[in-house]
Structure 1
Amino acid sequence: MINLNGTVISPNEVSLSNENRAFKYGDGVFETIKVQNNKVVFFEDHYFRLMASMRMLRMKIPMTFTLEFLQEEILKTVNAITSDSRTFRARLTVYRKDGGLYLPKTNEVDYLIDVAPIDVKSKEVYTVDLFKDFYNYSGLLSTVKTTNRMLNTIASVFADENDLDNCILLNENKGVVEVTNGNIFVVKGNVIKTPALTEGCIKGVIRKKIIEIIGKNPDYTLEETSISPFEIQKADEVFITNAIVGVQSVTNYRKKKFSQEITQKLQNSLRVLSITGV
């Protein structure tokens, strides 16, 4: 089902004009959110990231856009679906209203919530490799989830053509940034590294939660830093994070095979956190 500015309709009823700015210019931001057992998982983190993104892109935030309002709109859309599933993917997209060329006619926004039932499972064998055709340029704008995801799309096509589950994106300095659909962590001994935001990675909600979990465990040291592809080859474990799967172990990178001991512990800790919130 689709929620377009508060009205829940079926997908075939959606009508967007040829002046839609998300379509014409990628002039929008979005949040992909997991809804489980009628609970919008980690929604406070999604909400504050959305507000920060809208401010960065100079969009006018409506007075009605409170955390409670948007959460209710998501659940309203979920509850309009006839399904036995307890788990749903919700995508909340906010985009500037129609009109204008590069310069918009207004900074006011519309919103669309797209919800579908899902079956979430981590893959037992998960193979990745580098995507080197184009770069994900470092800088704060790259940390925002805009509706312009061309690099991620091309890299996903590359992965499919090469029988990979995912691709690692690099920045202009040949540093590791993220994967096509999430953040990446590299484990060596008791040190867990993830690319710093200044490398150009998305400011992921699950990335934030995993960093919090690691920070509370004295057995591990976390580093937000630059990571070279060489470090992936030498790692003990590699895992990726996103809002839907949570934590996914990477098992294969070229000829390298990784263990999953620490990754599985973090998976369990995240699962508890998503249920209890503490």
Structure 2
Amino acid sequence: MIAVFFMTNFNGTILEKEEQMSFQNRGYAYGDALFETIKVSGGKILFWEDHYFRLMSSMRIMRMEIPMRFTMEYLEDEIRKTLENSGLNTVTSRVKLMVHRNEGGLYTPNVNDVSFVISASKLNEDFYLIKDEFYEVDLYKDFYVSPSLLSTLKTNNKAINVIGSIYAKENGLNNCFLLNTNKKIVEALNGNVFLVKGNIIKTPPLSEGCLKGIMRTQILNLIKDLPELELVEESISPFELQKADELFITNVIAGIQPISKYRKKIFNSAVAKSLVQKLNVKIRLN
């Protein structure tokens, strides 16, 4: 049995679970924070370079000061230190790396320097699997995503995802699609969306407001290397969903999640299964 100690890494210092951060933390008070959700498979940090450069780019957009010590090697070492102190260094884990602007000020911060928090929890699957389980989605239309550069960032401002997840649970759904203010499909509540029709795979471009997902990037690169498939980054209307052969959602924890049903349409998952196999091969080779 592996002992798990629920430690948190705050600016390089390992804290016990009971040690709390200030309620004046700007990530809590104003959502002034970014985060990366990272999968670590048996000690191997998956897609770490992509996560790192997305975080650095997002910090610049948020006008956060990037410390000189925030190199790829430094943050990787801090992730590994957190895993080791949590008893998770040899298993598969979900790591959350959050960067928040330091305390001070109201909407206008007093400083632009930052702190980081790293936490980890155990996962069961080492690699990506597609489970043959029923997975139903529908549209969430109470609120809309306003497409902009900010909507592509992984920030703490996730109110629409929280409320949409409650809506899905109340209606017996596994997930929902979010729409933007132009009534186009943006993404799912917890990942990017891909539509398969024949040999064409479509996904919304970032200009529609979707998250610049790490797994989205991996899948785009996989599809580009497959001559039998054509990749298209174009707007997707809700009317296209029921005409698709296949729909699936991507994120770094689940990998690829095929959708079984949208309204009255039942979908297959042949392309999703093929891509998962190729994804796992790529991970083993890298």
Spell out the pairing of 1:1-278 with structure 2 (5 A cutoff): 1-13=7-19, 15-82=20-87, 86-120=91-125, 122-123=130-131, 124-277=133-286
Q: Which amino acid aligns with 2:79?
A: I
Tell me the distance in 2 between the aligned counterparts of 1:134 and 1:204. 21
Distance 1:256 1:88, change over 3 A: same
**3-state SS of 1:119 partner:** coil
Q: Which amino acid aligns with 1:233?
A: Q
Tell me the distance in 2 between the aligned counterparts of 1:29 and 1:73. 17
Distance 1:85 1:122, change over 3 A: farther
Tell me the distance in 2 between the aligned counterparts of 1:23 and 1:273. 37
Cα pair 2:40 2:92 within 8 Å, conserved: yes
Cα distance per residue 1:16-68 (max 9 Å; x no partner): 22321001110000000001111110000000000000000000000000001
Deviates more, 1:85-94 or 1:50-59: 85-94
Tell me the distance in 2 between the aligned counterparts of 1:19 and 1:80. 27
Normalising to structure 1: TM-score of the pair?
A: 0.97
Cα pair 1:85 1:117 within 8 Å, conserved: no
1:274 to partner: Cα distance: 2.0
Normalising to structure 2: TM-score of the pair?
A: 0.94
Cα pair 2:249 2:259 within 8 Å, conserved: yes
Q: Which amino acid aligns with 1:57?
A: M
1:270 to partner: Cα distance: 1.1
**3-state SS of 2:248 partner:** strand
Q: Which amino acid aligns with 2:83?
A: V
Aligned residues: 276
Deviates more, 1:117-126 or 1:166-175: 117-126
1:82 to partner: Cα distance: 2.9
Distance 1:93 1:163, change over 3 A: same
Cα pair 1:184 1:241 within 8 Å, conserved: yes
Tell me the distance in 1 between the aligned counterparts of 2:34 and 2:260. 32
Residue segments in structure 2 that go unaligned for 5+ positions in a row? 1-6
1:76 to partner: Cα distance: 1.0
Tell me the distance in 2 between the aligned counterparts of 1:230 and 1:268. 30
**3-state SS of 2:143 partner:** coil
1:118 to partner: Cα distance: 1.5
What's the % identity of the aligned pairs?
Answer: 51
1:143 to partner: Cα distance: 0.2
**3-state SS of 1:135 partner:** strand
Cα distance per residue 1:214-239 (max 9 Å; x no partner): 00111011111100011111100001
Cα pair 2:43 2:90 within 8 Å, conserved: no
**3-state SS of 1:181 partner:** coil
**3-state SS of 1:133 partner:** strand
